Chains A and B, each alone.
Chain A
Amino acid sequence: MIQPKSMVRWLAMSLIAGVAAVSAAPASAQSTLDTVKKRGKILCGVSPVAPGFSYADDKGVRRGFDVDICRAVSAAIFADPDKVEYVPLNTNVRFQAVQSGEVDILSRQNTWSFTRDASLGLDFGPVVFYDGQGLMAPSKLNVKSAGELADAAICLLPGTTTLQNLEDFFRPRNIKYESVVFENSDEWRNAFFNGRCDAITTDRSDLASVRAIANDPSQYVVLPETISKEPLAPTIRQNDPNWRDILNWSVYALIGAEEKGVTQANVDEFLKSEDPEIQRMLGVNGDFGKMLGLDNKWAYNIVKSVGNYGEVFDRNLGPKTRLGLTRGPNELWTKGGLLYAPPFR
């Protein structure tokens, strides 16, 4: 995910990397699960503002795709999705907040990358959303692919990777362009709608929401190229394998439930299912919850209170919302997507 304040962010990253290297990621004496249980709630780091992913509704209640990931973990541990305290974090403080123990899970559209995983003392859970940087242009320009954007003014929001990806894409192709950086997303969007930019670039999920906001969405086309890989995954502290398992399998329970056709509405009927894997997943058979240090009904509680992956996606980002995203790569592997849960056995 691409966010402003690039310089500050860069500074933060180097500081965090430096301190992490010096202190060699202090191992906490107590396991995260014990701390969380004693506290009675999970501390979940989210974006202050990210339409569809983390936002506050009219009553100030946090909702969104990222929020639902934390709610799923809360349901797994407490059998209640609302034992979560949300800590709004900006890009520049998010990883430090995980390291210092300010949050237990960071679920805020973080791209999983090598350096973050290897050098910051962090671990990443399963990818919950496959994103990638794309480009969008007005359809009247008749641009069919990003390669035709020679001498175009491309508007973007600041962030270390946005411009870098653009540069990495155009430089080898010898295409000249002009990048125009906007600090504020409202300005950036309006500049594009008013024709000041020949194209805009950001993550494809954001492009779709910008297009949905336009007065006439048919006037804009998202170009076919995806110029970067942005696998978004929740982030936790390194060195707590149990906590990592809980996060991993909470996400896999969401995906696995969709694979098996288990939904929030019909999960009770599935308790009587003959399928042994469903029986193990929902805690009818076996001691799967105990192995994680949880109740055996953990996955049942997740689906009962949050739904399966497809329901979470549709509720927050899907075609019926104003963001109107299609599943794309975020479809089950059986339907040509990338989502794949290891077996429950």
Chain B
Amino acid sequence: MTTATDMAEAQVEMPLQREPGVERRLLRRTLKPLIGTPVNAVVTLACLWILWLAVKGAWGWLVTRAVTEGGAQACKVGHGACWPFYEAKLRFMIFGVYPYDEHWRVLLAMVLFLGAMAVTMIPRFWSRRLIALWAVTIVATAVLIGGGVRGLPHVPTTQWSGLPLSFLLSAVGLALGFPLGLVLALARSSKLPAIRVIAIVFIEVIRGVPLISILFMASVMLPLFMPSGITVDKLLRAQIAIIIFAAAYIAEAVRGGLQAIPRGQHEAASAMGLHYWQAMRLVVLPQALKIAIPPLVNISIGFFQDTTLVTIIGLLDFLSTVRTAMTDPNWVGIAVLEGYVFAAFVFLVFSYGMGAYSRFLERRLRLGHD
């Protein structure tokens, strides 16, 4: 397609110059690739037609045919989206089995967390103060969700569930996995054989095993090796497994970035009199991490979605709470599509958000070789 469009553009370069109107020129430039040649026109029309069908279908399901009133029975008879299901189950799908009257705490914690995230994402706020902001946010979030102080009832981790749990597992996993991964990446490209071998073995072993088995080991095997009566919190076990797993993948992404830095950079840094850590921190890593942004974002999105695997060890992540909502005896078999559509929508919003931010970051750091 690209070549075809380029050719089409090349052909119209001459006549375009003769026309003065800027708007018309702009219009032509946009339309040329779409309807420039008969083939393009047909492809465009076909795409529009498919788009129209999709929009019409979605609109019909969500709005025109939707069941907006009544209970489960009305939805069973109807053929559209079942809004009463969302009305009854929305809070459950998001917050899970967290005590109903305490939902505001998790909500506040999530707002704080996403707020801190948003601030962190804006380049003009990049400074050491962010560390303080995160320290406060993490403590506040932990206190809000866990409770047990200042009259807030304690909520055990077995009741942490839904979207907050998915956030927690992926965010903490990536946040703690990143420094560990960075160290592993540096260790793997180290000149010291002992360190290199340890890093290689660690990374390859973790990467050679599916996340699901690591989770499974953490939840099944670990307690059997503990002295009787001592149990490590299940959530903590899963979290540690995810951190270790994330670290191995992040290490490889960062190593990719490190390898893209020409040797000359290392040598130049040494010639400047910088020792290893200074060279890494000031010269090599800033460039390597920039290059590693696309794979790192890829890992982030992947891990956000991979948190759904914790359902195998009985933690109720977001997808499990959605599926639990669908199996309430009042709704089972009725709101199947509604549940999955909602889950897909939420995952799409957050994954798209991460992707969009990475594109912004790449532009901002002028990564492309243009």
Contact = CB atoms under 8 A, between A and B. Distances in A.
Interface of A: 5, 8, 12, 15-16, 19, 23, 26, 28-30, 48-52, 55-62, 85-90, 92-93, 96-97, 99-102, 186, 189-190, 209-210, 213-215, 321-323
A339 B342 CA distance: 43
B226 interface: yes
Given A55-B328, A213-B334, 11 more contacts: A8-B312, A15-B224, A26-B228, A51-B327, A58-B92, A58-B328, A60-B92, A86-B97, A93-B219, A93-B314, A99-B224
A102 B223 contact: yes
B108 interface: no
Contacts of B334: 213
A15 B231 contact: no
Per DSSP, are chain B's interface residues mostly helix, strand or loop, or mixed?
Answer: helix
A324 B329 CA distance: 10
A138 to B, nearest CB: 16
A102 B314 CA distance: 13
Interface string B259-288: 000000000000000000000000000000
Contact of A48 (B88, B99, B100, B314): B314
Contact of A87 (B96, B158, B228): B158
Interface of B: 72, 76, 88-89, 91-92, 95-100, 156, 158-159, 161, 212, 216, 219-221, 223-224, 226, 228-229, 231, 234, 311-316, 320-321, 323-330, 332-334, 336
Given A87-B158, A93-B314, A60 B229 contact: no
10 contacts: A49-B323, A50-B327, A55-B328, A56-B321, A60-B91, A60-B161, A87-B314, A101-B231, A209-B329, A323-B329
A102 B236 CA distance: 14
B115 to A, nearest CB: 25
B311 to A, nearest CB: 7
A61 B98 CA distance: 9
A100 B97 contact: no
A90 B313 CA distance: 6
B332 A102 contact: no
Nearest to A86: B158
8 closest residue pairs by CB, A with B: A213-B333, A100-B223, A59-B100, A60-B97, A26-B228, A88-B314, A89-B314, A322-B329
Contacts of A51: 327-329, 332
Contacts of A90: 311-314
Contacts of A8: 212, 216, 312
B232 to A, nearest CB: 10
A15 B332 contact: no
A26 B223 CA distance: 13
B327 A55 contact: yes
Nearest to A53: B329
- Most A C-beta atoms less than 10 A away, residue of B88, B98, B156: B156
Contacts of A55: 324, 327-329
B224 A92 contact: no
Nearest to A324: B329
Given A8-B312, A90-B313, A56 B328 contact: yes
Contacts of B324: 48-49, 55-56
Given A28-B229, A59-B92, A96-B224, A85 B332 contact: no
